[in-house]
Amino acid sequence: MAKIIAVYSMKGGVGKSTVAVNLAWNAAGASARRTLLWDIDAQGAASFLFGHDGSTGKASRIFAREVTPASMIEKTAFARLDLLAGDLSLRQLGESLAEADKPKRLRKLLQTLAADYDRVILDCPPGLGELSDQLFRAADLIVAPVLPTPLALRALDQVRDHLARHHAGKPVLLPVFSMVDRRKTLHRETLAAHPSWIAIPQASVVERMAVERAPLGAFAPRSPAARAFGELWTRVEANP
Ligand SMILES: Nc1ncnc2c1ncn2[C@@H]1O[C@H](COP(=O)(O)OP(=O)(O)OP(=O)(O)O)[C@@H](O)[C@H]1O
Ligand SMILES: [Mg+2]
């Protein structure tokens, strides 16, 4: 049975797609897991980072049950690593799922893939609504990139409260500091308050992923950020 890992944050632009791509690469490479990266964000950023040309406009048909997820899966350049690409047709996914009144649609779609993969990594859009509730019902683990700032930690607490109130405290929430700049006092202080959390440094080489269109480990494996993504993956694997 595949383990479902959602890379999620209520906040936008915090490094979710970047983390999702690098976790998927570590899952398929270092851990030799049969891995699927499912991009459920209309921006299709994770798909782009894997070199996908985008613009099929058909990703939402999976959620309408017009096509099976399996029929839309593509190979990537990496062994054991497949992609279910996102595109603009997903821009109203939360609204259409709410309208269809199918609260477990995502979970059921994932179940159709469970035998074919060891790990499914979901790259999610920001927000807290119907789509994130579907994620929380479907995922075994939520990896939550968090900027090392008070407002970002506050947003994480809001998600934690929401999980406790509406999802019986499930799934497990694994925060990870993202875009850390140790020259900033506030960043250092925030990290010191959560010494056990993995910290991904802010680095231009991470931004280069969008030029190379590849996971960081594929072109800068010895960079501190690539090592941090590797450590994060180890932490993910240590979770039940
Ligand atoms: N550790 C990092 N160091 C430097 N730049 C980073 C880092 N992580 C992400 N970025 C850059 O920050 C931008 C936003 O990252 P990303 O797209 O992964 O965030 P996101 O949370 O998925 O955004 P969205 O909410 O729009 O989906 C991108 O340009 C990305 O290259
Ligand atoms: Mg993203």
For residue 150, the domain's CATH number is 3.40.50.300
Q: Tell whether ligand 1 has an atom less than 6 A from the beta carbon of residue 90.
A: no
Angle CA(231)–CA(204)–CA(233) in degrees, nearest 5? 15
* % of the chain surpassing 70 pLDDT: 100
| pTM for this model (two decimals) | 0.98
Ligand nearest to the CA of 228: 1
User: From ligand 1's centre to the CA of 102, what distance in Å?
Assistant: 31
> What integer pLDDT is reported at residue 191 of this predicted model?
98
| Among the bound ligands, the one closest to the CA of 15 | 1
- Judged against a pLDDT cut of 90, whether residue 56 lies above it is answered with no
> What's the total number of domains in the chain?
1
Q: Is 200 in the pocket of ligand 1 (CB under 6 A)?
A: yes
Q: How far apart are the CA of 189 and the centre of ligand 2, in A?
A: 27
Q: Tell me, using a 6 A CB cutoff, whether residue 220 lines ligand 1.
A: no
Count of alpha carbons within 13 angstroms of residue 128, beta-carbon side: 14
CA-CA distances (angstroms) from residue 190 to 18, 28, 203? 22, 32, 19
Indicate whether 55 pLDDT > 90: no
**Domain with 29 in it:** 3-238
Answer whether 224 contacts ligand 1 (Cβ < 6 A): no
Beta bridge partners of residue 35, listed in sequence order? 81, 119
Measured in angstroms, how far is the CA atom of residue 197 from the centroid of ligand 2? 21
When pLDDT is cut at 50, 70 and 90, the band that residue 114 belongs to is very high
Question: Are the C-beta atoms of residues 133 and 103 closer than 8 Å to each other?
Answer: yes
Q: Residue 1 has what pLDDT?
A: 86
Instruction: Tell whether ligand 1 has an atom less than 6 A from the beta carbon of residue 46.
Output: no
Residue 233: pLDDT over 80: yes
**Residue among 192, 227, 194, 217 at smallest CA distance from 29:** 217
CA dist 160 → 58, 94, 123, 177 (Å): 33, 20, 19, 16
What is the maximum span of the chain, computed from C-alpha positions, in angstroms?
52
54 Cβ closer than 6 Å to some ligand 1 atom: no
| End-to-end CA, the chain | 13
141's tokens: 């683990």
Q: Specify the residue for token string 């029929």.
A: 71
- For residue 12, the ligand closest to its alpha carbon is 1
Mean pLDDT score, 196-200? 98
Average pLDDT value for the chain: 97
Q: Is a pLDDT exceeding 90 seen at residue 108?
A: yes
Pocket test for ligand 1, best of 18, 25, 122, 180 (most atoms within 8 A of CB): 18
